[in-house]
């Protein structure tokens, strides 16, 4: 009996501790805005903790679905099919890896850091090659989704709602990214962005065959991290997490109402468990890739980084090791019939200035340097 009482007392004490410290990080964000206002530097520190500590699962999945949502716009899906970046297995895997790496370089460090600026300069070079093809409103819509989807997902499925401070931080961070990408007609407030995005979707998110093809390729890529026998079931769950407009524009049928309810309530249940039974995460789940030699080495234009993550069946930029071969990553790769690190997957790591399509790997050095100079001048002008 005393053992049961002691156990019950321990459980109650643990739950009380969880409750006492669960909201401290949220409150620190509010205090930070009160003291310093909201600029992109303050926003970066808040977004880093939101994505890596407070809501890591929802933040990651919302960004993946945000990118997926852009493929329901015919002008975007047609361009992706024309370039072959999603219609071929190796291209799709590398594009997903490179996009994830570039976004992480912006997301979890100050935008004025050398690596972040170089990643921005590289993206501006890649987009600049299609300056007469990519519509400004399509770029703005993509940016809008990176702001709005994390907010929507966390408000719907998170263990708590985002505060206005946190929403302001997500907006400020990505609007600064939009400015550095020279995207035009950026809205001045979150509400204005929501209004613009809704009108854009209503007008442009319509079904085309290119949407359906790109959607199919992307789902295959997302499911490549899972064993084959569970993929049909996970596909059904993914469809449950899409809204009717997106499914219609992609050519997917609406799943049964009961399945939609089950999938959504399962995520909500996870939030309840996190809220009441887990202490706040102390370290970020999202990390920048360190240099292969040492994480303390300075960044240079020729630095190479090994990815700490393997993207699906294709372990781009992952260094071969006993852990990668015989540890959990190796076992998971065996289950999904994936490929081991090495060979064409560049185990030597990635150079930020070479990210993008393979045919552009050794191109754009001069353009990237020009873009970097523009970014440096912008930072100097803002700081003065």
Q: pLDDT of 193-233, one tens digit each?
A: 999 999 999 999 999 999 999 998 888 877 877 777 888 88
**Neighbour count for residue 251 (Cβ, 10 Å):** 15
The DSSP annotation for 32-74 comes to HHHHH---HHHHHHHHHHIIIIISHHHHHHHHHHHHHHHTTSH
Q: What is the mean pLDDT of residues 356-381?
A: 89
In a domain, 219, yes or no: yes
Q: Is the pLDDT of residue 294 over 50?
A: no
Token pair belonging to 73: 């716009």
Q: Is the pLDDT of residue 178 over 90?
A: yes
Residues composing the chain: 384
Alpha carbon distance 193, 170 (integer Å): 12
Alpha carbon distance 75, 211 (integer Å): 9
Q: Is the pLDDT of residue 83 over 60?
A: yes
In a domain, 153, yes or no: yes
Alpha carbon distance 253, 234 (integer Å): 15
Distance from the Cα of residue 13 to its chain's centroid: 36
Alpha carbon distance 53, 23 (integer Å): 12
Alpha carbon distance 328, 94 (integer Å): 22
Which is more confidently placed, 327 or 316? Answer: 316
The CA-based angle 333-153-235, given to 5 degrees, is 40
How many domains in the chain?
1
Beta carbons of 115 and 105 less than 8 angstroms apart: yes
Q: What is the mean pLDDT of residues 134-148?
A: 95
pLDDT bin (cut points 50, 70, 90) of residue 147 is very high
Torsions phi, psi of 286, nearest 5? -105, 120
Mean pLDDT of the chain: 88
Place of tokens 């790769």: 333
Beta carbons of 85 and 214 less than 8 angstroms apart: no
The CA-based angle 369-370-376, given to 5 degrees, is 85
pTM summary value: 0.90
pLDDT bin (cut points 50, 70, 90) of residue 263 is very high
In a domain, 16, yes or no: no
Beta carbons of 78 and 208 less than 8 angstroms apart: yes
Q: What share of the chain in percent tops pLDDT 70? A: 93
3-state secondary structure of 350: strand
In a domain, 24, yes or no: no
**Neighbour count for residue 314 (Cβ, 10 Å):** 22
In a domain, 99, yes or no: yes
Q: Is the pLDDT of residue 1 over 90?
A: no
Q: Is the pLDDT of residue 293 over 90?
A: no
Provide the residue range defining the domain that includes 73. 30-277
In a domain, 155, yes or no: yes
In a domain, 383, yes or no: no
Beta carbons of 16 and 9 less than 8 angstroms apart: no
In a domain, 375, yes or no: no
Alpha carbon distance 295, 283 (integer Å): 17
Alpha carbon distance 130, 136 (integer Å): 11
Element spanning 90, H or E: helix 89-107
Alpha carbon distance 171, 151 (integer Å): 10
Residue range 183-203, pLDDT digits in tens: 999 999 999 999 999 999 999
Q: What is the mean pLDDT of residues 316-329?
A: 82
Place of tokens 């990080």: 25
In terms of Cβ atoms closer than 10 Å to its own Cβ (0-12, 13-18, 19+), residue 156 is: middle
Residue range 20-76, pLDDT digits in tens: 999 999 999 999 999 999 999 999 999 999 999 999 999 988 998 999 999 999 999
């Amino acid at each position: 009996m005393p053992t049961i009482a002691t156990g019950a007392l321990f459980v109650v004490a643990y739950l009380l501790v969880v409750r006492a410290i669960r909201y401290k990080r949220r409150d620190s964000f509010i205090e930070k805005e009160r003291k310093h206002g909201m600029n992109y530097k303050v926003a970066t520190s808040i977004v880093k903790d939101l994505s890596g500590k407070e809501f890591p699962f929802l933040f990651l999945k919302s960004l993946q679905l945000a990118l997926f949502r852009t493929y329901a716009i015919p002008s975007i899906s047609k361009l992706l099919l024309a370039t072959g970046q999603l219609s071929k297995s190796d291209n799709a895997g590398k594009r997903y890896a490179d996009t994830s790496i570039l976004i992480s370089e912006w997301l979890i460090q100050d935008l004025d850091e050398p690596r972040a600026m170089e990643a921005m300069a590289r993206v501006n070079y890649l987009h600049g090659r299609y300056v007469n093809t990519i519509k400004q409103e399509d770029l703005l819509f993509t940016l809008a989704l990176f702001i709005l989807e994390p907010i929507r997902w966390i408000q719907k499925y998170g263990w708590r709602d985002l505060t206005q401070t946190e929403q302001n931080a997500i907006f400020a961070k990505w609007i600064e990214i939009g400015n550095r990408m020279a995207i035009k007609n950026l809205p001045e407030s979150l509400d204005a962005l929501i209004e613009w995005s809704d009108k854009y979707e209503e007008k442009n998110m319509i079904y085309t065959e290119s949407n359906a093809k790109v959607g199919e390729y992307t789902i295959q890529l997302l499911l490549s991290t899972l064993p084959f026998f569970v993929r049909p079931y996970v596909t059904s769950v993914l469809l449950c997490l899409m809204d009717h407009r997106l499914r219609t524009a992609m050519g997917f049928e609406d799943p049964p109402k009961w399945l939609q309810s089950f999938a959504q309530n399962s995520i909500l249940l996870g939030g309840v468990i996190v809220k009441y039974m887990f202490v706040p995460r102390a370290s970020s789940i999202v990390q920048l890739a360190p240099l292969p030699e040492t994480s303390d080495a300075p960044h240079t234009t020729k630095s190479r980084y090994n990815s700490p993550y393997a993207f699906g069946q294709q372990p781009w930029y992952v260094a071969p090791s006993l852990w990668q071969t015989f540890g959990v990553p190796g076992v998971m790769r065996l289950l999904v019939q994936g490929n081991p690190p090495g060979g064409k997957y560049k185990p030597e790591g990635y150079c930020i200035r070479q990210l993008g399509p393979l045919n552009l790997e050794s191109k754009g050095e001069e353009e990237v340097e020009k873009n970097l100079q523009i970014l440096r001048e912008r930072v100097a002008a803002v700081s003065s």
